[in-house]
Amino acid sequence: MPNLRSPERVLFLFVDGIGLGPDEPSNPLVNVGPHWARLAQNASWTCDTPPVDRANHLFRGLDATLHVDGLPQSGTGQASLFSGINCAKRAGRHFGPFPHSSSKPVLASHSLFQRVQPHLAPDDCAFANAYPPVFFERRAARDRWTVTTLCSKQANVRLRSTSDLRAGHALSADIVGSAWLEKLNIAIPQLSPAQAGRQLYTLMQQHRLTLYEYYETDKAGHGRSTLSPATILSRLDALVGGILESFSPQRDLLLLCSDHGNLEVPTQKPHTRNPVPFVAYGCGAQAFQSATSLIDVTPALCTLLTS
């Protein structure tokens, strides 16, 4: 890697289930909002989008098939993305949505958090998502974790809760907080997506590496969301807009990546084998210059944060 300056702060926006699909009207990512378009040098997000390769800005598709037949799944895809090790190959198949048994030891020793933490100050890694009481009750009753919550638990990265949301130190999984109020009857601040973006940027400033996961995109791709793809993408667009308001490309680094395609082909409910979008915007973006697959993201980020 060339002599790259390490970013002071990294925000990793993980968006489940979006791929770079055909440039057709049915593909919701043909109509991304202005902030997402800016991340692709003012283009829509399809397989025809020209890659961006600038000093402080990369946009490209990454292979999510991991050279394994079948449709990519969240368990092995996310484990591969967040460890840099091909967990689909290890499992012998794509597996999900929860981590495959063969992925758990990989994450225990090689997750992004595990790899960077020894080189950073305590509390420098943050997982920005907040979880409601029912999540913690269910985990106590049944030891079943998603990839991101397992990575956090294994590395002692705190899982945030209602009090963090009320203090503005976390984001809800739906960005705006309405699901907590309407489905869980828990009073938390209701945010516009842009406010949520500003809040996430403030949180990012308090840690070296902040991860936020959004999965309504995958639910919508499966036809299981109450929100339309257009609403979801406009929320994500405004979230990024809020992040970028105070963002310093000279100091900060924004990463955006998915684990497999889905939402870009609304006519089929299962996942797709399309490449997934990858954005690196800001300080150190060129560290990902040779990334071609999901497994290339975490090693490059670890090198950037620990060298």
Which residues make up the interface to Zn ion (CB under 5 A)? Answer: 218
Whichever of 216 and 218 has its CB closer to Zn ion, that residue is: 218
Quote the CA–CA distance of 127 and 152 in Å, as a whole number. Answer: 7
- As measured in angstroms, the least distance from the Cβ of 8 to Zn ion is 34
In angstroms, the Cα distances linking 152 to 44, 107, 128 are: 33, 10, 11
Cβ atoms of 305 and 119 within 8 Å: the answer is yes
Task: Tell me what percent of the chain is helix, strand and coil, each rounded to the nearest 5.
Answer: 40, 15, 45
CB of 218 to Zn ion, least distance (A): 4
d(CA 220, CA 266): 8
Q: Output the CA torsion sign for 287, 292, 296, 298.
A: positive
Sign of the CA dihedral running 276, 281, 284, 285 = positive
Amino acid at position 231, single letter: T
Pick 69 or 140: Cβ nearer Zn ion: 69
Q: Which is nearer to Zn ion, 197 or 261 (CB)?
A: 261
| Smallest gap from residue 97 Cβ to Zn ion (A) | 6
Nearest distance from C-beta of residue 222 to Zn ion, angstroms: 6
Closest CB to Zn ion among residues 199, 272: 272
Coil/strand/helix, residue 193:
helix
Smallest distance from the beta carbon of 74 to Zn ion, in angstroms? 6
Based on CB atoms, which residue is closest to Zn ion, 71 or 120?
Answer: 71
Q: What is the rounded (10 degree) CA torsion for 276, 282, 288, 290?
A: 90
Q: Based on CB atoms, which residue is closest to Zn ion, 124 or 218?
A: 218
CB of 140 to Zn ion, least distance (A): 26
- Indicate the pairing of strand 252-257 with strand 9-15: parallel
> Which residue is at the shortest CB distance from Zn ion?
218
